[in-house]
Each structure stands twice: as C-alpha cells, then as structure tokens.
Amino acid sequence: MIFLLALQLNFVLNILRMFPKPSYMPALAFILFSAVMPAFNVITPALFACNFLIWILYQSCKLYNAPRAKTSIYNLGLLTGSCVILYYPSLPLIIITMIALAIIRPFRPNEWFVLIFGIITPAYFLTAYHFLTDQFNLLPLPQKICDLINLP
C-alpha cells in the first residue's frame, strides 16, 4: 500500500513538473520517511485517507489551468466529501479545500456552489442509501428528531 502511495505521489510530482527531470526520488523519499514512522507500518484508515489527500492536492493544483473548471471543482469537492465520509478525522480538509479554491481561482459564486455540492454529494448518497434500506436509525440523530419522524 505504501509503495502504491509512493508511486502515486511520484506521478503527481512528475506531471506537475516539480523537478527539472522526471525521477523516482520522491517515491523513494516517501518510502524512507514512512518507514521511520510507526503509524505507517500498519494498514489503517489514515493510510487510505493519505491516498485521497494526494488526489485532492493534485486536483487543486490542476485548478489553475483547468479548461473546464466546474467539473474539476466538483471532482475536488467529491474527493473531499468521500474522504470525510470514509475517515471522519479528515473533516478539516473541507476548510483546506475551500481555502485552496479561494487562493487559486478568482471568486465566482457558482464555482463555490459547485464545490459545496460536490462536498455534500457523498453524504447525500449515504443518507439516501440508509433511508431506502430502512437503516436510517443507524445515523446518529438526536432523539427529538427521531421522535418527530417516528423512529425507535
């Protein structure tokens, strides 16, 4: 898993031309630094969140020259929302994504709505799935809301 993350990070850095010539040095550095940290020796949800984080950084760097910015912004929001759904401690990533959009793109309200809709989309589909499969009581709802909609 760490090897695949290293190759993904290396691909992103080579595509964005962060170094004078393509090489595998970033992948080697990632593998060496991850070997030093004991948290990376075990497969955890944080390791999968690292995969999403690399994708999010790549998408936000591509926003600067995006020919169709709205689709890229929606994909960025969708990745952020999916990361938050799969690994809840990555919730501050939503704020970081909004700051990245504010820095990279000029302010256009429709792009901000597209980003917010992209962030909300995974939560919407998860809630709809729980509702349609009658597992809606698994979501942490306050008791007063449960009483209003007649849930146990």
Task: Express the helix, strand and coil content of the chain in percent, nearest 5 each.
Answer: 75, 0, 25
**pLDDT higher than 80, residue 138:** no
Angle (CA) 5-83-131 rounded to 5° is 140
What would the mean pLDDT of 32-55 be, rounded to a whole number?
86
Which tens digits make up the pLDDT trace of 76-127?
Answer: 999 999 999 988 888 999 999 999 999 988 888 999 999 999 999 999 998 8
Angle separating helix axes 93-104 and 45-62, nearest 10 degrees: 10
Query: Structure pTM?
Result: 0.79
8 Å CB contact between 5 and 51 = yes
> Residue 152: which pLDDT band, with cuts at 50, 70 and 90?
low
The average confidence (pLDDT) of the chain is: 86
